[in-house]
A and B are shown apart, each in its own frame.
Chain A
């Protein structure tokens, strides 16, 4: 028994001990989930089709697309005016406006006005707060 439970830890490879152990536990748990939930897993196709059918694809995928573009543009725009946080401000205004418009149900001018105002005011206020008041780095 003593030999079975005895463990010698090699310091050179000690970074792999815990990840290996956790991975083994995850594989065992994964297999147990596969066995106990086999019926649900077998019905995964219709489940995902249902999710996709019910999904508001324009708003969901639109949010992701706008966010990716926002993240991609922030640094290049910011590099034009380094250490001013203007990359954040210039990209945030259209991002807040466009995602607000995306979320709107009715897009009459009357509905767009509050979204436009918040798109101008909120990023500007936040930009001022973080760069001037808190002196934090923004892109």
Chain B
């Protein structure tokens, strides 16, 4: 039980503090769990791996959970993953059942978080053990699969896959590293920038720019709408909350948590897909689907257990394959990189204490989230009225610190933050998908090594199809995700034309 040495008062305080800050970020529309992790990453430089992860996992769980507060009270999703919580939570609040809806959401979040944590604990090591036998060929195909799955679930598959490949290309800027078997030559660097871009763009400024600065630019573009005044937030006396509301909803809870976890495991697919799929499934299976969208508690249960199910699920591919499950877990890679640790199939076996610490941190974060939100919901509800003119400048300043300190004081990293902040804003206007871009950017250098080294070793392109049965299965999955997406797009187009 070496993990007991890690669980210090500081470790627990960081989780609880992280969860609290995460809830605040989640509860303020326009700020997300991803932003919370991005802004607080520099704080982990001096904390060590386990303590740093404790803070970030608290932020992650809190951030995903906090989104339900404005979704229910204001009808505005605090984070994209709580979009379906608005559908029934807000009507419940309007009829005076705000507190009841919040409590239903909080309990569902806890159940979703715990079920996905159990899946993470039992499934990630098994997947990692299996993935250890992967050669470069299979590893390359896994990355290709991750990109096609993300693209398949994008609103436009072509744009989704384009975004992923664009991320790949941007990640290749700089030197083909000798340390990973490359020839040490530079490529793709615009003339005059060789000095600055010799090592390419650093990961953290890119992430902080895309998820911190870009989000604030989007808010500035619409004039930084004022937060709701605390007076406008009414919880309502309503019918009161009792656990009996969950009677007959156990199946919903388990199914939605399961869907959320599964979506989390799919590489790069975010929380909104988790809650939308859980909500749609629950509505489709309901004996009274017409009540959905009008204040049906089952809708809140499905949405919130689904999006919190994501949290453990998204860590599965990260811990077992080194592939982030969503954009927030992509940032966690940053925390590992800071500590000089590479996540991949060998991680759990080689770092059992860190692995146990991650599980314990997730467990404490879920319990802390529940305790804080359930018993202090009336105070948490006021968070939605925190003034943005005070918060946003501080966030901008924290973004600068994160970018500047990552390589111990390189100003170019701060400019990269601005470049990618502007790019993130522009990408949203051009309908480019940021999640595939980021995953492409993170996995690009590995994908290159796996691809080129496979060709160097085998000298034949057919090796990508004939190396092993796993390669064949991965190609089938890649083809299925593309075909599924094409069929879905065609169906959607026909439905639109039919209307």
Contact = CB atoms under 8 A, between A and B. Distances in A.
Interface of A: 2, 5-9, 11-12, 14-19, 21-23, 25-26, 29-30, 32-33, 36-37, 51, 54-56, 59-60, 62-64, 67-68, 70-71, 74-75, 88, 92, 95-97, 99-101, 103-105, 114-115, 118-119, 122-123, 126, 130, 133-139
Contacts, number: 172
Contact of B409 (A18, A26, A137): A137
Interface of B: 42, 45-46, 156, 158-159, 161-162, 165-166, 168-169, 172, 175-176, 182-183, 185-188, 213, 216-217, 220-224, 226, 387-390, 392-394, 396-398, 400-401, 404-405, 408-409, 411, 414-415, 418, 422, 429, 447-448, 451-452, 455-456, 459-462
A6 B459 contact: yes
Contact of B158 (A36, A100, A126, A137): A36
A92 B396 CA distance: 10
Contact of B397 (A6, A19, A122, A136): A122
A8 B451 CA distance: 13
Contact of A22 (B168, B182, B186): B168
A8 B243 CA distance: 67
Contact of A95 (B397, B415, B422): B397
B217 A22 contact: no
A17 to B, nearest CB: 6
B399 to A, nearest CB: 9
State the main secondary structure of chain B at its contact with A. Answer: helix
A75 B400 CA distance: 13
Contact of B389 (A14, A115, A139): A115
Given A12-B183, A71-B414, A63 B217 contact: yes
30 contacts: A7-B461, A12-B183, A14-B183, A14-B456, A16-B187, A19-B172, A22-B165, A22-B168, A22-B169, A22-B172, A26-B162, A29-B158, A32-B158, A33-B158, A51-B429, A55-B221, A56-B224, A64-B217, A67-B213, A71-B414, A71-B415, A74-B411, A99-B393, A103-B220, A103-B393, A105-B224, A130-B405, A136-B42, A136-B45, A137-B405
Contact of B159 (A21, A33, A103, A123): A33
A26 B459 contact: no
B410 to A, nearest CB: 10
Nearest to A104: B389
A95 B394 CA distance: 10
Contacts of A16: 187
State the main secondary structure of chain A at its contact with B. Answer: helix
A137 B408 contact: yes
Nearest to B462: A5
A28 to B, nearest CB: 10
Nearest to A6: B460
Contacts of A122: 393-394, 397
Contacts of B415: 71
A96 B213 CA distance: 14
A67 B396 contact: yes
B219 to A, nearest CB: 8
A7 B455 contact: yes
Contacts of A119: 393
A92 B46 contact: no
B459 A103 contact: no
A118 B393 contact: yes
Contacts of A7: 455, 459-461
A70 B460 CA distance: 53
Contact of B222 (A36, A56, A130, A137): A56
